[in-house]
Structure 1
């Protein structure tokens, strides 16, 4: 089985560093499926679920990403995420609460900085909710 090196890093921590045989990244152009030896590309990442097929694991590794940058080389993928959270660290109720609070902060933002922070919080919450929805849909199959 052919594999590639994958690095998923947020501004706060290294989320995943290891091998994968297939990766799906939510990009601004849509979901991008990447196998080893993929053509080099760069793309902006949109909020959503980053899915990794790790050799020897039966289930996909899921990471919610709120945006960032993707770089693909034939033997390595790097995702520099604004915010990234592993699926086992997510909570539906907390993500919905953060989303509502961020939407309220957006409507009341008094300056560009507070508006940008509220948009970032909203993107992170949306990414977690999309990832949790994907998890639910996979369990119902």
Structure 2
């Protein structure tokens, strides 16, 4: 089976590099499935998980991304993300605390004039990280 090279990079450096059979990710316009030979495209990413399916197995890697840009070429996918973490690198306790803080800020939004959208984005990132680890 053909594979496609995937690179996920943040401002802090590379997070993931591998040859995979399929990339599934969430763009701002909806979910995308990318196979080798896909037409070239560029799309803004939403906060979500990048699913990376390996050829000839049911193995799938998960990487949590906090938005960014997806560039697709026929034989390579590059994701430039503001932040990205492989599932095994996520500190579940820290993500759970971030989720709880964001939920609390959203509840108190009216009382303290806290930026609701900022708290909402923090909550999305925390839930995404927990979802990727499978411990939500």
TM range (shorter): 0.7 to 0.9
Q: How far apart are the structure 2 equivalents of 1:126 and 1:109?
A: 23
- Aligned pair count reads 131
Structure 1 gap segments, 5+ residues each = 137-141
Q: How far apart are the structure 2 equivalents of 1:30 and 1:17?
A: 24
Is 1:36 the counterpart of 2:41? The answer is no
Is 1:130 the counterpart of 2:115? The answer is no
Larger proportion of strand = 2
- Indicate how the Cα distance of structure 1 residues 109 and 6 shifts in structure 2: closer, same or farther if over 3 A, else same: farther
RMSD (Å), alpha carbons = 2.7
Look up the match of 2:96.
96
The 5 A counterparts of 1:1-141 are 1-55=1-55, 58-104=58-104, 107=109, 121-132=122-133, 135=134
TM-score (norm 1): 0.76
Q: How far apart are the structure 1 equivalents of 2:61 and 2:113?
A: 36
TM-score (norm 2): 0.79
C-alpha distance after superposition, 1:52-86 (max 9, x if no partner): 11236542011011111101111110101111111
Deviation, structure 1 residue 15: 0.9
Does the 8 Å contact 1:66/1:126 carry over to 2? Answer: no
